[in-house]
Amino acid sequence: MAGATRRRSLRTRLLAAALVLVLAALVVAGLAIGVILHRFVRGQLDGRLDAQITALRAGLEAGILPQTLDAPPFDRPGPGWAWEVRRGSETIRSGSLRGGDIRLSDPGPDDDPDRPHPASATGPGGEPLVARVLTVPGPPPATIVVAAPEAELRGPLREALTSLAVALGILGLCLLAGLAVQVRLGLAPLTRLRADLAAVRAGRRERVPADQPAEIAPVVVELNALLDQNAQTLERARGHVANLAHALKTPLATLSMALAEPARDPDGALRRQVDDMDRRVRHHLRRARAAALAGSARGRMPLAPRLTDLRDALVRLYAEKGVAIDLAVPEALSAACEGQDLDEMLGNLVDNACRWCRSRVRVSAGLRDGTVSVSVEDDGPGLDPAAAAAVMARGRRLDEGVPGHGFGLPITLELAELYGGGLSLGRSDLGGLRVDLALPA
């Protein structure tokens, strides 16, 4: 799996291609510069040998003994710099040859008789030499051979090539570092795009920012179009679910309460049918709603603004009762829920608390172990454990004198469970009921 990931990595592929291209370019450049350096060093050496040939030829034509032309470095004894003039049976040598001869192993081409030409030669001891040869017409004709040790060619060339290799190596490292930075900068928009998509999936954004490089902008346009399409599909699905819920839940609850009277359903058969219908409707509504919420359109909804608006509305609604609602909710706290569902859950809980309280309601929220916990408390009569269990049944009301249909807490529980959360009832230190709502963060 790791190998497959590396093969599919754009960064690895770009860096590998850049490495191959840089190495190929450096090799080609090294070879080309090496050839140029070789020609330059050989040209310098040939020029020096040709100057000696010119002096020897001038001496021959002027009748001057060539031995007087042993200028440095041709006056050094031993193998290396040397010359000789062959004229008929006579051979005149430089002092460095000490009576030995320069042996020409390859005279080389003689395309221009008036110009010296290169030749391969060895000295008296078999040492390799770089030679230049010129044939001077007679009578009698003379052959001038001037040679230098091969080290005079290879030594400077080796030093130059070593310096060249070091320079090309440093250049290659700099190029690779620059290409690595270039690849990193070039792929940075993809990294940002991945972060933007993660933010959309987590609900921190609704769309991917459109300000993208020209190469990525068409992809972002298609992604945003897909997100819009998903949001519209979700909204239509939620609308159908909501319409079906409102169309069925109230009539079924009314039938269930009407059939609770023994005279209308003596054997309870109709009541069982209604309960079965209610369970089936709620089951399919839950499945449809869960499928709609399973997509990427779920957002992160802040709690504080919604609870503030809800408090203002309920304070006006229960103005005659003089209800005071205290809020203790962090501004940055958000829940991963749809806005409509969050409003419905919070509205049911706070409205229920205002309905049963004497004068005070307290709403607090916080983050605990990755879960948003919302507590709604009142100073009303509260519930004992048996009543708390009974009140969670749909349509069950403990006090018929208080307005309502008995659906608030069960609906809130269903919505919370739909998001992977929950609802629990307990006793508040205010004296009344405490409802704890758990939602994903």
Give 178-196 pLDDT, tens digit per residue: 888 888 888 888 888 888 8
Cis preceding linkage at 302, omega within 30? no
If DSSP codes are grouped into helix, strand and coil, which group holds residue 157? helix
- Cis amide bond preceding 73, omega within 30: yes
What tokens were used for 143? Answer: 């052959």
Residue 382 contacts residue 432 (beta carbons within 8 Å): yes
What pLDDT score was predicted for residue 395? Answer: 41
Confidence class of residue 396 from pLDDT cuts 50, 70 and 90? very low
Of the segments 283-287, 390-394, 423-427, which one has the largest average pLDDT value? 423-427
Alpha-carbon distance values, 69 to 72, 85, 107, 212 (Å): 9, 12, 24, 79
Q: Residues in the chain, how many? A: 441
Higher local confidence (pLDDT), 438 or 253: 438
- Indicate if the pLDDT at residue 64 is higher than 60: yes
How far apart CA 272 and CA 24 sit, in angstroms, is 84
Return d(Cα 61, Cα 138) in angstroms, integer.
10
> What does DSSP assign to residue 141?
P
Specify the DSSP class assigned to residue 97: G
* CA gyration radius, the chain: 50
- The residue among 361, 372, 379 whose CA lies nearest residue 432 is 379
User: What is residue 293's predicted lDDT score, i.e. its pLDDT?
Assistant: 56
pLDDT value of position 32 = 92
Q: For the whole prediction, is pTM greater than 0.85?
A: no
CA-based end-to-end distance of the chain: 33
User: CA 309 to CA 323: how far, in whole Å?
Assistant: 15
pLDDT reported for residue 238: 67
The average pLDDT across 390-417 equals 58
User: What integer pLDDT is reported at residue 166 of this predicted model?
Assistant: 92
Instruction: In whole angstroms, give the CA distance from residue 17 to residue 216.
Output: 22
The residues with which 367 forms a beta bridge, in sequence order, are 372
Q: How far apart are CA 147 and CA 103, in angstroms?
A: 10
- Quote the mean pLDDT of the chain: 79
Could you give the percent of the chain with pLDDT greater than 90? 6
In eight-state DSSP terms, residue 17 is H
**Among 124-128, 146-150, 293-297, 373-377, whose mean pLDDT is lowest?**
293-297
The answer to whether residues 122 and 128 touch, using CB atoms and an 8 Å cutoff, is yes
Chain centre distance of CA 28 = 33
CA-CA-CA-CA dihedral for 355, 249, 418, 202, to nearest 10: -90
Burial class (CB in 10 A: 0-12, 13-18, 19+), 428: buried
Q: At what angle do helices 269-293 and 408-418 cross, to 10 degrees?
A: 40
Contact 130, 147 (CB under 8 A): yes
Structure tokens belonging to residue 141: 């004709």
Say if residues 357 and 380 touch (Cβ distance below 8 Å). yes
Q: Is the pLDDT of residue 401 over 50?
A: no
pLDDT at 327 over 60: yes
User: 60: which residues sit within 8 A by CB, 6+ positions away?
Assistant: 66, 85, 87, 136, 142, 144
CA separation for the pair 179, 185 (Å, rounded) = 10
**Residue 280, token pair as written in the block:** 């089936």
- The arithmetic mean of pLDDT across residues 322-333, rounded, is 88
Percent of the chain with pLDDT over 70: 82
Tokens of 354: 């205002």
Q: Are 160 and 34 in contact (CB under 8 A)?
A: no
pLDDT mean over 230-246: 71
Give how far the C-alpha of residue 110 lies from the chain's centroid of Cα atoms, to the nearest Å.
66
pLDDT greater than 60 at residue 398: no
Residue by residue, DSSP assigns 307-354 as HHHHHHHHHHHTTTTT-EEEEE--TT-EESS-HHHHHHHHHHHHHHHH
Task: Kindly state the DSSP code that residue 96 receives in the 8-state scheme.
Answer: G
pLDDT at 28: 92
Domain range 301-440, CATH class: alpha beta
